[in-house]
Amino acid sequence: MKNYNEAATVLAETKPIVMKLQNTSLLHQYYYDLGYIDEDSKDYVKAVTDYKKALAYAKLNEDPYQQTNVIDALSDCLIGMNKLEESKLYLDTLLQLSTKHNIKYARRNAYVNLAKWYEKKGDYKNANAYLQKNEPSR
């Protein structure tokens, strides 16, 4: 397990500056990093809250790369919390955005998370199908 105590301290020190500047790109990154640290600390409820704030700023930035990164982390966190219905909404969005903007790594992550989602549902056939989509073409 990684220890993000130092990162959390630095992030806390940057908060007043980020909040004062009100730059949506900085706010997106701040909340994304905060969510990542919260998730690592097993505070999943706070991580989801932070990821949703990061996603709101990513949408304001109209940046599909920011959006797909956050949605990937958010959906994975929700799957870990067993909030499958909510996570599926984000997974569908992740797959749609990654396909629309041809963001290959995000599409791969969507397949991996969809495999996890189907596995949690006990649907191993579909889980395996998404894992196979994740494999590089031969």
Instruction: Please state whether 76 falls in left (phi above 0), alpha (psi between -120 and 50) or beta.
Output: alpha
**DSSP category for residue 120:** H
Global pTM? 0.90
pLDDT of residue 138: 38
Local confidence pLDDT in tens for the 138 residues of the chain: 456 778 888 899 999 999 999 999 999 999 999 999 999 989 999 999 999 999 999 999 999 999 999 999 999 999 999 999 999 999 999 999 999 999 999 999 999 999 999 999 999 999 999 999 876 543
pLDDT of residue 60: 97
The fold of 64-138 is 1.25.40
pLDDT of residue 5: 79
Look-up of token digits 């596995």: 119
- For the chain, the structural domain boundaries read 1-62, 64-138
